[in-house]
Structure 1
Amino acid sequence: MNVRTPRAVAAQVLPIVGLAVLILGPMAVAVNRLWAVTGTSPIIAVVGLSPSGLLALRTATGLAAVAAAATVACGVPVAFALAAMDDPWRRRLRAVIALPFVCPSIVAAVGFLALIDLTGEVGYTVRNWTAWQNAGPGSVLLLIAMVWFNLSLAVRVVEPSVARADPRYLEQLRLLPEGKTLLGRLRAWWLPLLGPGLTAAAGLTFTFAFTSFALVRWLAPSALTIEVLLAEQGSGAGIPGYRVDLSKLVLGAAVAQAMVLLLAVSLVNAMQRKHRFAMNAASSERVREGLASGVWGHPILRWSLVWGAACFAVLPLALVAVASFRIRTSEGWKFSLDGWRRALEGDAGGVTLMEAFWATLQTASMTVAIALPAGWYLATQVHRAEREGRVKLARGLDMLAMVPLVVSGVMVGLGTLLGLLRLAPGWLTSPWLLPVAHATLVLPIVVRVMLPAMRRLKPDFEACAATLGIGPWRRFALVRWPMLRPAAVVAAGLALAFSLGEFGASWILVRSTDASTLSVLVDAWLARPGFDPTTRPAAMAVAVVLGLVTMMLMLLLERWREDRVHGGL
């Protein structure tokens, strides 16, 4: 029987407790502060949510649900058409279609603003369209942007499953009574194959749309969602004796948001566990032949769908670059470098483009320095618990790592702000403030990349090294690290990319300091009065830099991942 010493137990438990404090601490302190100020429990605050809070909850839920349904409806035919294409083109076009998903949300917002400016009266008319009565002008454009942002989720889930599905199973099903009709084949074949994955993709789209802040802020500014309510009202909450009703509203809205996200993430996790393709994968040529025998055999339909999706993905991003050189004049428009000059020089006392660039890079690097070791350690503990058969502990640690998924970026920033105001106000000026908040948000990504890689490790290699008398640190350097290095590079790159483009928590925390990040600087330029014709191009110039850095990093990671990493996110 393996008896562990108290020292060994403490060495394993104390870091986990520290991670739990990092993940749960700011939120727990913030809720406790709001509870103390209002004298109202979180559940009572949710039940007694004010009319504005209920409106925000209904609007956010409705927009997210419509966006999820529309994303799946648009993504499925594109995925089938993509699976029917030859390999080189399929890989390239799949990477292009995935660009919006790795694009920072503030860059996506300015991309659609550039599209509106370019299309003139038509664009302004579309921007005024309302999805329903209380959604506000711009909600239709917002839904289009949400579909644009999340389309690759549905494609990424459906296309690999279709591309590996052996068409001989479907041919055999056609011989049976249930396979004679399209509805029967959908029920007996496609729904079991794709249903759980599509539900997971819809759940993820719902989660991202429900917590969207930058898109709502700039495409539908009159739409009141939970995230907008927390961002705009949260700074005045938690102050004893000041507007208790506001603190109660923020408390109820935050808890309601967490409850909705918890349900969505639980559904996603359940569907991901069911989304397993257990049959032998067919060759790409056989799959294409099977798809070619049906409606996807028409090249015009295939190419129209895939190239249409690719153009839809690229257009707003390309227009950001064009708009950075486009200056409004009294006679119309002209192309000029004035916007770039303005961004590089900054305003009097303002942050320049390069200052924000280096600050953003520093913040992202510090985020990786926190998140990668923390995520690695947490994934190691989950894997160890799984190997030792301690299922409940493994699930508990895995759930701990996923907690940030049920809290939005704005709420993490707000929780950090309220928590530090009470416990350590001096930390509000620390350079580690934003990296700690970002590390909390990216921790699930790191764990989700590292854990599958650890599960594939064969313990025989380390056992052989131990038999040879090699110490634990050398075993790590010679055996474990070389096998996990590709996954660690991907995890670090994803954390870096997320931190570069993160907007919600940054918008809450950076405004109270003299620093800035590229995403917050884009927002600041957009918020300037419109009488200066260079402010909008300056915002576009900053967005170009942010978008290029983030997407180049993600494309490099995708190449690395295809070559060296299997599984993970």
Structure 2
Amino acid sequence: MLTNGERRRWIVGGGLALALMAALVLAAVVPLLVATAGGAEARSATFDTYIWRVTRFTLLQAGLSTLLSVALAIPVTSALARRRRFFGREWLVRLLAVPLGLPQIVATLGLLAVWGRQGLVNEALLAAGAGYPVSIYGLPGILLAHVFFNMPLAARLMLFEVERTPGEYWALAGQLSMRRSAVFRLIEWPAIARVLPGAAGLVFMLCATSFTIVLLIGGGPGATTIEVAIYQALRFDFDPPRAVVLGLFQIVLTGLVLVALKCLGGRAEHGGTSGRAVRRQEPDTALARTADGTAIALGAAFLLAPMAAIAVDGLRADLLRLLGEGAVWRAIGTSLAIAFVAGCLGVLLALVLAAARHAALPLAMRHASARAFCASTGAASSLILLVPPIVLGAGWFVALHGVTDVFALAPVVVVIINAMMALPFVVRVVEPALASHRARTGRLALSLGISGWRRMRLVDWPGLRRPLFVALAFAMALSLGDLGAIALFGGQGTTTLPYLLLQRMGSYRTADASGLALLLAIVCLALMTAGSLGTREEERPW
């Protein structure tokens, strides 16, 4: 419950936040549209065979990555759902969330250490006399990396839905002595199918907008996505017309995917149940235990091997020398400063949008304008999905070039892009926490006459402090590991830890790159761990 004054203030604040976000997006999109409409070079670039080839490859790798990630997630999900009690299960389920918070540049180094030309797999094959049959560069490497990041995400979403299955279902399956195949077909698969379209759409979106993975292991012009082509057009070829057309292609592509996700059916609800926890009772044979154990072991090894390689290679580096370099400390300081400011901005935007939407909901029943406002605040966090970071950066690069020193504004641009990049995850934490908090304390605060600043200080801050810190920690972890925006605007004046890592890789200083990767991974995972302490599963954005 809110007073009329509080309601008006939150709605006005939400309107200002929407206007700010719209202005930031339009400031990037409008220059792209203007350049396309007014430039013959941009119009002719639309029919460039290179652009169409890049677009086809973007769709191909995203489709294949989605298919592989979802297909491999299903047996892992089914095995974990059946094996509810074994040593390390809780940590293994938590491990499924680690790739989401691990910087892509760090994980890619780990994958290279395992699957690269001089990686563990090829060394084992060489020892067996098979030569070097595995090549991670090009499409196979892109698919491998995307599966590493997205298979755990899909498995986590599916496992959560399967474990929501009412206990009565399992009790009935036990009473009917249903075979394992029948249990999967009649109980597990319907639960998986409920989240499968949404999970597949999310994975496709993440793969279609992938930048760091393709930049590092794409393997040349034959394996380039739209976002990498935008970066190359601006930083290497300095071909703004081509970057403009590619940026518009990316917006159209992400827009179509978002529309498809919106059209997917809603989640089917279970009927009324007692809520009792019932142990699964389907027949358990040695063959079933072996199959489940194999699926779980292979999934765990696939995730753990690159992480272990990161740790081993990082510890082999001369960490003391790296920590004695001024460039490393400047990069760490710049990364933390950008991450903190971007995280605070993202949390503030999420809080204002969520509070404004909550304030306008009672009016939505009577006014169409209020319904439109609620829909706008709810969709605002998805703007970064429609206009990915590299497209935002390309638009601002085109707009600012010739007007001012583009690289001098790098910190401001990177902070804004990183804040908007984290917004979808931050909103997922802040909005449910705010709704629950207001439902618990709203009437009491109103009856006691506590409003305005006193309410925020005495009621809202104590109740929302923990979820806000969770959101801030995850937003900072995302910003720390981001390479998209800084790859366009970074330079000697603004160097973050991922950008420094990329520079060391480019100059073939692999030992230094491994040490920096370990430092970056430790900081990001520490932030994720600190954010998750004392929180429930549903409060986490991963």
TM-score computed with the length of structure 2 as normaliser: 0.85
Aligned pairs for 1:478-557 (under 5 A) are 478-511=458-491, 513-528=492-507, 530=508, 535-557=509-531
Of 447, 459, 469, which aligns to 2:427? 447
2:105 corresponds to: 106
Per mean C-alpha deviation after superposition, the further-off stretch among 515-524 and 416-425 is 416-425
Counterparts of 1:78 and 1:4, CA distance in 2: 52
Give the conservation status (yes or no) of the 8 Å contact 1:108–1:316. yes
Question: Residues 201 and 426 (structure 1 numbering): CA distance in 2 closer, same or farther, change over 3 Å?
Answer: closer
Partner of 2:22: 20
Cα distance, 1:495 vs structure 2: 0.6
**Pairing of 1:365-376 with structure 2 (within 5 A):** 365-376=340-351
CA distance in 2, matches of 1:380, 1:295: 53
State the shift of 1:523 in Å.
Answer: 0.8
- Give yes or no for the alignment of 1:323 onto 2:313: yes
Q: 1:356·1:518 contact (CA, 8 Å) conserved in 2?
A: yes
- Quickly say closer, same or farther: Cα 1:521–1:272, change in 2 above 3 A: farther
| C-alpha distance in 2 between matches for 1:127 and 1:26 | 45
Q: Distance in 1 between matches of 2:6 and 2:534?
A: 42
What do residues 4-42 of structure 1 show as CA deviations (whole Å, max 9, x unaligned)?
9999675653343223223x133224324523652589x
Change (3 A) 1:496 1:140: same
1:74–1:283 Cα change, 3 Å: farther
Answer 1 or 2: higher relative contact order, Cα 8 Å, separation at least 6: 2
The CA distance in 2 between the partners of 1:496 and 1:305, in whole Å, is 34
CA distance in 2, matches of 1:447, 1:440: 11
Aligned equivalent of 1:256:
249
Shift of 1:171: 6.6
- Give every structure 1 segment of 4 or more consecutive aligned residues whose post-TM-superposition deviation is greater than 6 Å: 2-7, 173-176, 179-187
Partner of residue 156, structure 1? 156
Q: Deviations for 1:26-74, whole angstroms, at most 9, x for unmatched residues?
A: 3224324523652589xx789x442111111111111111111111111
Deviation, 1:459, is: 4.2
Q: What is the match of residue 332 of structure 1?
A: none
- 1:467 is matched by which residue type in structure 2? S
Identity of aligned residues (%): 23
Q: How far does residue 273 in structure 1 lie from its aligned partner after superposition?
A: 4.2
382, 385, 401: which one pairs with 2:381? 401
Tell me which residue corresponds to 1:59.
Answer: 57
Gaps (5+ residues) in structure 1?
130-136, 238-242, 327-336
**Equivalent pairs, count:** 523
Q: Which moved more, 1:208-217 or 1:189-198?
A: 189-198
Q: Structure 1 residue 202: deviation in Å?
A: 1.4
Q: Contact 2:389–2:485 (CA<8 Å) still a contact in 1? A: yes
Q: How does 1:26-65 map to 2 (within 5 A)?
A: 26-35=27-36, 38=39, 48-65=46-63
Structure 2 counterpart SS, 1:324: helix
User: RMSD over aligned Cα, in angstroms?
Assistant: 3.5
Q: Which moved more, 1:192-201 or 1:69-78?
A: 192-201
Task: Give SS of 1:352's match.
Answer: helix
Q: Structure 2 counterpart of 1:203, which letter?
A: G
Q: CA deviation at 1:370?
A: 1.4
* CA distance in 1: counterparts of 2:180 and 2:80, whole angstroms: 21
Q: For the Cα contact (< 8 Å) 1:79–1:155, is it kept in 2?
A: yes
Q: Does 1:386 align with 2:361?
A: yes
Which letter maps to 1:317? Answer: M
Could you tell me how far 1:102 is from its partner in structure 2?
Answer: 1.6
Q: CA deviation at 1:166?
A: 2.9
Q: CA 1:393–1:273 in 2, change beyond 3 Å: closer, same or farther?
A: farther
Pair 1:97–1:568, CA change in 2 (3 A): closer
CA distance in 2, matches of 1:298, 1:391: 52
Distance 2:530 2:265 in 1: 26
Partner of 1:475: 455
